[in-house]
């Protein structure tokens, strides 16, 4: 019997991006396959291959604020949902931190893994 875990969260977006902070938001998976009990947000700077940062968040919270980022760098973010059956598929995106948003107004690349 296959264990069915949640699908990826949907509508991953970044309403606030500055030179050193990011606010990430998402909507629950279209296919939760159970009751969502939490989310995991993982991120890393793209030019640093080893260091990953992650936080587990309660299910009612569908946003996360990250600070102490480095200006003018690409960061990769992913969000996964969890049910009692385990962690599901991740929704992923890249964001470029910059103080000059007008020069880079829409640098947000999304993908589902």
pLDDT tens figures, 22-39: 999 999 999 999 999 999
pLDDT band at 113 (very low <50, low <70, confident <90, very high): very low
Domains of the chain by start residue, with CATH? 10-112 (2.60.40.10)
Distance CA 21, CA 108 (A): 14
CA atoms in the 13 A half-sphere facing the CB of 111? 6
pLDDT higher than threshold 60 for residue 49? yes
Q: Pick the more confident residue, 91 or 11.
A: 91
Which residues have a Cβ under 8 Å from the Cβ of 100 and sit 6 or more positions away? none
Average confidence (pLDDT) over 101-110:
52
- Angle made by CA atoms 63, 28, 15, in degrees to the nearest 5: 35
pLDDT of residue 104: 52
Q: Pick the more confident residue, 59 or 101.
A: 59
pLDDT higher than threshold 50 for residue 11? yes
Residue count of the chain, please give it.
Answer: 113
């Amino acid at each position: 019997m296959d264990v069915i875990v949640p699908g990826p969260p949907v509508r991953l977006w970044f309403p606030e991006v500055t030179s050193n902070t990011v606010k990430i938001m998402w909507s629950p998976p279209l296919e939760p396959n159970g009751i969502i009990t939490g989310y995991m947000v993982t991120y890393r700077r793209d030019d640093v291959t080893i260091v990953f940062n992650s936080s587990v968040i309660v299910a009612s919270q569908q946003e996360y604020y990250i600070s102490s980022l480095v200006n003018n760098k690409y960061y990769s973010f992913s969000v996964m949902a969890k049910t009692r059956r385990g962690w599901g598929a991740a929704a992923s995106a890249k964001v470029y931190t910059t103080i000059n948003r007008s020069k880079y107004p829409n640098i947000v690349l999304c993908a589902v893994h």
